[in-house]
């Protein structure tokens, strides 16, 4: 009788654990705005589609080559992103935007790390482009480990070169 009770309890625990697990997110590839682009980047990383994630960056990539970029996520199970207030400005045929973010990275070992930072996106007006067309892309970004909680880690703003600014406490 004890053995049956233990088996049922183990099965219920396993079922509860599986039900609580987050399902894989749906595929998202949206370059219609800066926030959507950054969400798409982290969607690609969560789905382990590193070539797609790499494609969201312009000529200046976050690391020297694609293999190093993909290898940097070897121990990442998933990520989630929280986006702050996007600010945009135009200049000579381009629209630039800064996107403040907090990122929570969940390791394959279950560990959680929080990062704060900013991305700078660029959209070159289609009327002035020659083929091949270049959609909205990430021009640069800066992320750093944060001691803040995920909900508090989004910078209040970003500098023009994508450095995070925090309203209080640094």
What is the radius of gyration, based on Cα positions, of the chain?
20
Give all domains of the chain, ordered by start, each with its CATH number.
Answer: 30-165 (3.10.450.50)
- Cis (ω within 30 of 0) for the bond into 51? no
pLDDT in tens, 51-104: 999 999 999 999 989 999 999 999 999 999 999 999 999 888 999 999 999 999
What pLDDT sits at residue 92? 86
Q: Per-residue pLDDT averaged across 21-48, rounded?
A: 92
Does residue 2 have a pLDDT over 50?
A: no
Q: What CA–CA distance (Å, rounded) separates 148 from 102? A: 10
Exposed e or buried b per residue across 110-142, where buried means at least 16 C-beta atoms within 10 angstroms of its C-beta: eeeebbbbbbbbbbbeeeeeeeeeeebbbbbbb
Of 44 and 22, the one with more pLDDT: 44
- Mean of all residue pLDDT scores within the chain: 87
Q: What is the DSSP string of the chain?
A: -HHHHHHHHHHHHHHHHHHHSPPPPPP----SSHHHHHHHHHHHHHTT-HHHHHHTB-SS-SSSSHHHHHHTTTTEEEEEEEE---EEEEETTEEEEEEEEEEEEEETTS-EEEEEEEEEEEEE-GGGPPSSP--SEEEEEEEEE-SS-GGG-S-SEE-TTS-EE-SS--
Does residue 1 have a pLDDT over 50?
A: no
pLDDT in tens, 110-125: 999 999 999 999 999 9
């Amino acid at each position: 009788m004890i053995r049956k009770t233990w088996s049922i309890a183990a099965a219920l625990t396993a079922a509860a654990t599986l039900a609580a697990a987050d399902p894989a997110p749906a595929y998202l590839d949206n370059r219609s705005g800066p926030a959507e682009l950054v969400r798409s980047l982290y969607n690609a990383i969560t789905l382990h589609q590193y070539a797609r994630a790499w494609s969201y960056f312009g000529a200046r990539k976050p690391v020297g080559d694609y293999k190093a970029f993909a290898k940097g996520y070897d121990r990442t199970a998933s990520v989630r992103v929280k986006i702050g207030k996007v600010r945009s400005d135009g200049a000579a045929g381009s629209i630039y935007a800064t996107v403040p973010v907090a990122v929570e990275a969940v390791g394959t070992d279950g560990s959680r790390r929080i990062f704060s930072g900013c991305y700078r996106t660029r959209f070159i007006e289609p009327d002035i482009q020659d083929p091949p067309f270049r959609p909205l892309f990430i021009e640069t970004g800066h992320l750093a480990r944060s001691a803040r909680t995920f909900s508090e880690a989004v910078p209040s703003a970003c500098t023009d070169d994508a450095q995070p600014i925090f309203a209080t406490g640094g």
